[in-house]
Structure 1
Amino acid sequence: MLGNMMFKPLLISSLIEHAAHYHGDTKIFSKEVDGHIVETTWLEISKNAKRYANALKSLNLQPNDRVATIAWNNHRHLESWYAISGSGMICHTINPRLFPEQLTYIINDANDKVLMFDKTFVALIASIQEEIPNVQHFVCMSEADPEITKVLPGVKFYDELVAAQKASFEWPEFDENTASSLCYTSGTTGNPKGILYSHRSTVLHSFVTCFPDTISLSSREIVLPVVPMFHVNAWGIPYASAMVGCSLVLPGPDLDGKSLVELIDRYDITMALGVPTIWQGLLTYARTSATKLKSLTRTVVGGSSCPPSIISEFKDRYACDTIHAWGMTETSPLGTINQLKAKHGELSEDEQLKIRLSQGRPPFGVSIRITDEENGTNRLAEDGRQTGHLQIKGHWIIEHYYNKDMALLTEDGWFDTGDIASIDSDGYLSLSDRAKDLIKSGGEWISSAELENIALEHPGVAMAAVIAAVHPKWDERPVLIVKKHSENQATEECVLQVYQGKIAKWQIPDKVIFVDEIPISGTGKMVKKDLREKYSRILFE
């Protein structure tokens, strides 16, 4: 016997319809590629999404056709998301920071029919145009510009396409399991792999994102998604924001500390989301400015492990909570998020901080476990001490990669993340490292992430990466690679001194290498593969 309730498919179009109808006058601020700010509303975003949906229809696109975007966080990008997915096509966000060879591979693998791009990327698109023959339409996300037409003959312009259409469009209704958007991994180990999200998984992910025990998103917030829209759909924030009707400040291409502080202070931003390298840059600038970040109540940090120094500085200097989260492209990305339980209110601040340093616990909708073997099924105890291979399953977790026939899940249906971790009795996850980044020295494991976080406690260290270097006696030993703050006179001796009393002596790095830059991937993570290739035999020199 079935229940007697109405059925409505969970579709992305319902999010923008809700925002337009019940939060239509809520402001959206968008920083454009030329630096000026466009002020719009959820109602105007909805109208332009419908206009662009009509424009896509006029280009003879069909349901499930892929429409690619190479763009920053701005109002046109937001409008196009709802137009593409809402009308039954697939929104394929592409990371512009990838190598041209990876870009052409991704576009061809997805068989994109339309390629949309910000002005910033005109030269990039021109350089790969001949390598992507299946793209039928190139759309520059700007007003008409004859100089761009010279570079890309036949290019269409977003503003002209939108202006030529009516703001009336009936969003189609279809199966909620229909594909909605496509993201690719960063391709640090081989070619990037595609993850195809559904309308159902996206809407469920949005619901849970708003929960008080996740980021507690509401219509009263003014949110700054620094995480790019091409990085796992900006962690789903553009969707969750429409669900609650909050105000958005879209930062465009300027993600430096000064630009972000100015946006926070100008628009009274209450919550911001980004990777640790973003917050390091913001805090560095904030220390030398007059800002008090008085409106900012919390930052959400993900993408890689958050150094304790970031959490402490936000709290102590700016009375701002840092919410530690973990996820992957394959998990939409929300896997765990760190919110304290009621019983933790009785703990001291130091004890609470220790808990906050973990990656948090799963929200409703996902489950995690650790096993003794990669892709194994033998579950280990969740006692906070045992470490194993982290696996996950749930409503918005990948089942298989796009265009790939490879078996992806364990025999009992879990996705192995490639991380090594422990889980305590309350479900709090603590990542030890990526399996490939662990250092095995004399038969014992050393966490590179832990060593990096300790190094960042030194005031002269701007970035820190730890890799395994080959050793004649111990097989592998940790080597610390440091980018210093400008004009800081940090030495190897004083940096290594930070480790005293914090870890066992045998875990302290054997060597410190000072460099001008540490390679960063398109998603803001350190590219350790390049560092290993360059320095893996440094202890023999």
Structure 2
Amino acid sequence: MQSTMQDVPLTVQGIMRHGVATYGDSVCVTRRPDGYRQASFAEVAERADRLAGALAALGVGPDDRVGTFMWNTQEHLEAYLAVPSMGAVLHTVNIRLFPEQLAFVINHAEDRVLLVDASVAPLLARVRDRLTTVERIVVVDRPAGESVEGLGETIDYEELLASQRPGFAWPELDERQAASMCYTSGTTGDPKGVVYSHRSMWLHAFSGMTANTTGMGQNDRVLVVVPMFHVNAWGAPYTAFLAGADLVMPERFLQAAPLAEIFATQRPTLSLGVPTIWNDLLRYAEEHPVDLSSVRLLVGGGSAVPRSLMAAYQERFGVTLLQGWGMTETSPVCAVSWPPRGVPAEEELTWRAKTGRVVAGVEVRVVAEDGTVLPNDGRSVGEFEVRGPWITGAYYKDPSSDRFHDGWLRTGDVGTLDEHNVMVISDRTKDVIKSGGEWISSVDLENQVMAHPAVFEAAVVGVPDPKWGERPLVCYVPAPGHQVDPAEVLAFLQDRVVRWWLPERWAAVPEVPKTSVGKFDKKVLRAKALAGELTIVDVPLPERAETAGR
């Protein structure tokens, strides 16, 4: 029996049309060096219309890649709408990549046109002579009468838009054709390209409006701290256009002081960012006023959100901080750490500190090394595999068949899944520590270390040990105004972790190295430890732990 339902494609065009028709008076606010600039959704869409016409006049056609090298701004939002809706492919380029990686991803994606913020144009200029496919560079926010050194001939963004009148003939699109692409952060080897379809973008954006994710709606005002070059800013721009939520774009002003000012003046209700951002803002609040009274929810992602950080936001500001989990390959949202129904109030924080409960539209399973699917019992440890309509099935121009298993994406994350479909990630497959035959979760251990008030950040890596094979090394950054005594922190850990996890090796570092998207870059610390570039202090373990777990 055939369905009689209409078959209307799910596209970014549809997201834009709905946002304009239903919420045309919602606004996008952009932080500027001299204040704020505001435009309604209707005005943003009208400019996107002219941008599409201008790009077409430059020769951009179906499936051509248009790269963006930009902060979170209104102009970036215009590209988010225009490029996919005209049938081209939006490639959001990470402005924090090393020059070699930057040249690689632009060439690999075969970008024909680049839209570049003037403030970051010098970063692009370093690799301009290596870019083999780029034909035109459009500079956004270029000071009047000034050229950008090192980029050659460029086009001014506002002049480009002024050359067009509204009325672009939007083409009919297949929902399965490419809409945008993003590259992984490339912690090992070259970054890998992930291509998102219109359908996957629409479904992912729709998911963001559900109460079990962020519940974004027309009464929200969303401060988008997570970069728009990082997995489509976790889908927030598209969800906001579907939901009618105002958008607040911080541009380059991501430090604690300007963020505090944005919270105070723009009164966002919802904000998304990496844990490092929320940690910095919390430390800033120790000596400066921070007003979060408008906020109903903060979401952290990109790396594990420490329970101590969640507790601090709850106690100091009365604000709920959740964590979400996903990857570039998953669009990204797969799980959000809302506690199951009926959890007592005193246990909510424990559940929020877990990785997250799988959201509708995504399937997750735990798989043993031999391929056996393990039970959802909260105890069986294996690698997480995921599938769903916004999960990639392949990398762009790279088969990488070892990352896919029977139609599921192998995530590289290790942990457990319980009867509530709640994920707990204990480590990455490449970061897990095996000591004397026992597994040690570097993620859990570093979260417990960071719960100590004297510790600002901590990363745990495995280092060779002649007796146990591997032992954990704690690389820590002291909190401002504090000194860290590893023996004191060890005593603090005794009742928080199992006995064989207690680390005897410690190293103070000025900062924990991070990837371009804010994750702890543990391979750098491992390399420094093996090269003897860290000052490692051996601290005697408490007596009861000397033979623990062996």
Q: TM-score range by the shorter chain?
A: over 0.9
> Which residue is 1:532 aligned to?
526
1:437-484 per-position Cα deviation (integer Å, ceiling 9, x unaligned): 111111111000011101111122111000111111111100100111
SS in 2 for 1:210: coil
Amino acid aligned to 1:531: L
1:367 aligns with 2:366: no
Q: CA deviation at 1:435?
A: 0.9
CA gap 1:51/1:455 in 2 versus in 1, 3 angstroms: same
Matching residue of 2:541: none
Change (3 A) 1:409 1:519: closer
Equivalent in 504, 514, 525 of residue 520 of structure 1: 514
Map 1:344-355; keep pairs closer than 5 Å. Answer: 344=343, 347-349=344-346, 351-355=347-351
1:106-255 correspondence runs (5 A): 106-143=105-142, 145-255=144-254
| Correspondent of 1:503 among 492, 497, 504 | 497
Deviations 1:363-391 (A, max 9, x none): 11110000111xx5411111111111110
Query: Which residue of 2 is the match for residue 272 of structure 1?
Result: 271
Deviation at 1:343, TM superposition (A): 2.4
The Cα offsets for residues 162-199 of structure 1, whole Å up to 9 and x where unpaired, read as: 11211222322211001000100011110000000000
Matches for 1:312-323 after TM superposition, within 5 Å = 312-323=311-322
| Equivalent residues, number | 535
SS in 1 for 2:181: strand
- Are 1:421 and 2:415 an aligned pair? yes
Give the deviation of 1:411 after TM superposition. 4.7
Alignment-mate amino acid for residue 376 of structure 2: E
Counterpart of 2:15 in structure 1 is: 15
Secondary structure class of the residue paired with 1:365: coil
CA contact (8 A) 2:393 2:404 kept: no
Distance in 2 between the 1:71 and 1:410 partners?
32
**Rounded Cα–Cα distance in structure 2 between residues aligned with 1:155 and 1:410:** 42
Query: Which stretch of the first structure deviates more once superposed, 315-324 or 55-64?
Result: 315-324
1:454 match: secondary structure: helix
Confirm or deny that 1:431 pairs with 2:425: yes
SS in 1 for 2:125: helix
Q: Which residue of structure 1 lines up, in the alignment, with residue 69 of structure 2?
A: 70
Q: 2: CA distance between counterparts of 1:157 and 1:36?
A: 22
Kindly indicate whether residue 297 of structure 2 is the aligned counterpart of residue 298 of structure 1. Answer: yes
Q: Give me the TM-score of the superposition, normalised by structure 2.
A: 0.94
Contact 2:128 2:150 in 1 (8 A): no
Contact 2:367 2:384 in 1 (8 A): yes
Cα distance in 2, alignment partners of residues 356 and 259 from structure 1? 28
Q: Secondary structure at the match of 1:343?
A: coil
SS at match of 2:208: helix
Q: CA deviation at 1:427?
A: 0.5
CA distance change for structure 1 residues 406 and 468 in 2, over 3 Å: closer, same or farther? closer
Q: Where does residue 483 of structure 2 map in the other structure?
A: 489
Q: Measure the CA separation in 1 of the matches of 2:149 and 2:460.
A: 47
Work out the CA distance in 2 between the residues paired with 1:466 and 1:475. 16
1:343-492 alignment, distance < 5 Å: 343-344=342-343, 347-349=344-346, 351-373=347-369, 377-408=371-402, 410-492=404-486
Inter-partner Cα distance in structure 2 for 1:4 and 1:282: 53
CA-based RMSD of the aligned residues comes to 1.6
Q: CA deviation at 1:323?
A: 1.8
Q: State the shift of 1:263 in Å.
A: 0.7
CA pair 132-315 structure 1, distance change in 2 beyond 3 A: same
| Distance (whole Å) between structure 2 residues aligned to residue 413 and residue 227 of structure 1 | 30
| Separation in 2, partners of 1:218, 1:502 | 39
Check the 8 A contact 1:221/1:271 in 2, yes or no.
yes
| 1:19 counterpart letter in structure 2 | G
Compared CA separation, residues 21 and 408, structure 1 to 2 (3 A): farther
CA positional deviation for 1:64: 0.3
- Alpha-carbon deviation of 1:35? 4.9
Task: After superposition, give the CA deviation of every residue in 1:379-406 in whole Å (9 maximum; x if it has no partner).
Answer: 1111111111110011110100001133
Counterpart of 2:94? 95
Identify which range, 517-526 or 192-201, moves more after superposition: 517-526
Counterpart code for 1:386: S
Partner amino acid for 2:390?
Answer: W
Counterpart contact for 2:514–2:521, Cα < 8 Å = yes
Inter-partner Cα distance in structure 2 for 1:270 and 1:526: 28
Q: Which moved more, 1:526-535 or 1:143-152?
A: 143-152
- Please state whether the residue corresponding to 2:285 is helix, strand or coil: helix
Match in the other structure for 1:5: 5
SS at 1:241's partner residue? helix
SS of alignment partner, residue 391 of structure 1 = strand
Amino acid across the alignment from 2:31: K
TM-score when normalising by structure 1: 0.96
- What letter corresponds to residue 361 of structure 1 in structure 2? R
Deviation sequence 1:322-341 (CA, Å, 0-9, x none)? 12210000000011112223
List per-residue Cα deviations over 1:221-241 (Å, max 9, x = no partner): 010111000110100000000
Q: Is the 8 A contact 2:217 2:243 kept in 1?
A: yes
SS in structure 2 of the partner of residue 436 of structure 1: coil
1:144 Cα offset (Å) = 5.6
Counterpart residue identity of residue 217, structure 1: M
Amino acid at match of 2:263: I
Q: What amino acid maps onto 2:512 in structure 1?
A: I
CA positional deviation for 1:409:
5.6
1:40-66: CA deviation from partner (whole Å, max 9, x where unpaired): 111111011001001001001110000
Give the secondary-structure state (helix, strand or coil) at the position aligned to 2:191.
Answer: coil
